[in-house]
Structure 1
Amino acid sequence: MKHILMGFLAMFALMVQATETESLSKAQLEERVKAINILQNAILMKDSKVSEVDALFANFTDDFQYVHKVYGGTYSRQHLYNNYVKFLKEGNYNRTTPRYKIMSMIVGHDAVSVERQQEREGTLENHLSVFEFNGSKVSKIIEYWK
């Protein structure tokens, strides 16, 4: 009986190890944020394509959430994807210069706080966002700006 119990415990420990996702290093997290920023900017450019939306969303987990309390609360991955495609097809993305420039990052365990700057109507605005990661994919973006 003791051997059976030990066997189950060993199997459980192996299953837990197999499902744990390896955390990225500080440098890897910073590179992932930079890459996602580039992809987000690409979608907002004039003549962008749905394939660019697909490229961005390939970097998100299946259970990804976008949280922006000022602009509607929490959005699922599918809801956000549908909005991007809808606005793209309606011709709402027509920038000629990238929207966001990364100003600074603070890296934590599986998360990065990001200060990004955009020019809006001739005025520079800084925005705070937090990117949470599950392995190499973004599991959540929380926006803290108006």
Structure 2
Amino acid sequence: MKTHLKILISTILLLFATNQIIAQDATKAHKDSLEIVVKKYYDLNLKIFQTISTIKDIDRVFELFTDDFTYIHPKYGGTYTRQDLYNGYVRNQKNGRYDGKYINIKVLKKIIGLNGIVVQRMYVEKEGDGIKEGEPQMTLFEFKKGKISKIFEYW
């Protein structure tokens, strides 16, 4: 009987340890996938900011968003729906606002949570014959089912 009890306890401990490892791997994979989405977001935005960008480039960034996506930027007008933000991107492109002055979006720090990432980043832009780093800015990304559901700008 003692042998069976030892085997049972050993099996339970082994299953518990295995589940912990699987849960840790799943959490890491989840965090990695969110981080990849934020990187794609910044890479696509950098492409959009160039003079040769197209509507297809804008469409690609919006593929990263949920249908109920919102963009919140209190300093620049408050809350925008997905459609409001899309219209703004298209308007800026048609008005020539994407002029290639931004040459990089440099991510300085990240804090990755269960369904959110806070990023400190700065724009790097052309200035005369050189480059200039902008001020660090903070952005919160929230996610639903692996897509960006909200961006809140804290600058």
TM-score > 0.5, shorter chain as reference: yes
Equivalence for 1:58: 63
CA shift at 1:98, angstroms? 2.8
Deviation at 1:124, TM superposition (A): 3.0
Count of aligned residue pairs for this structure pair? 124
Q: Does the residue aligned with 1:25 lie in a helix, a strand or coil?
A: helix
- State the superposition RMSD in angstroms: 1.9
- Superposed displacement of residue 97, structure 1: 4.4
Residue 124 to residue 92, structure 1, CA distance change in 2 (3 Å): closer
Among residues 109, 116, 125, which one is paired with 1:104 in the alignment? 109
Counterparts of 2:102 and 2:75, CA distance in 1: 25
Q: For 1:106 and 1:82, locate their aligned partners in 2 and report how far apart those are by CA, in whole Å.
A: 30
The SS at the match of 2:137 is strand
C-alpha distance in structure 1 between counterparts of 2:96 and 2:84, whole Å: 19
Distance 2:45 2:124 in 1: 16
Q: Choose between structure 1 and 2: higher helix proportion.
A: 2
Residue 73 of structure 1 pairs with residue 78 of structure 2:
yes
CA drift at 1:118: 1.5
Secondary structure class of the residue paired with 1:91: coil
Larger Rg: 1 or 2?
2
Shift of 1:123: 4.8
- Distance, in Å, in 2 between the alignment partners of 1:31 and 1:128 is 18
- Aligned-partner residue type, residue 47 of structure 2: A
CA contact (8 A) 2:106 2:124 kept: no
Does residue 92 of structure 2 align to residue 92 of structure 1? no
Q: Distance in 1 between matches of 2:86 and 2:73?
A: 15
Distance 1:81 1:131 in 2: 17
Corresponding residue for residue 142 of structure 2: 132
TM-score (norm 1): 0.78
Cα pair 1:44 1:99 within 8 Å, conserved: no
Cα shift at 1:119: 3.5
5+ unaligned residues in a row in structure 1: which ranges?
Answer: 1-22
Q: Deviations over 1:90-110 (max 9, x none)?
A: 111011543421111100110
User: Which secondary structure state, in structure 2, belongs to the residue aligned with residue 45 of structure 1?
Assistant: coil
Q: TM-score, normalised to structure 2's length?
A: 0.74
Residue 30 (structure 2) pairs with residue 25 (structure 1): yes
Q: Distance in 2 between matches of 1:140 and 1:112?
A: 11
Higher RCO (C-alpha under 8 Å, 6+ residues apart): 1
**Identical aligned residues as a percent:** 40
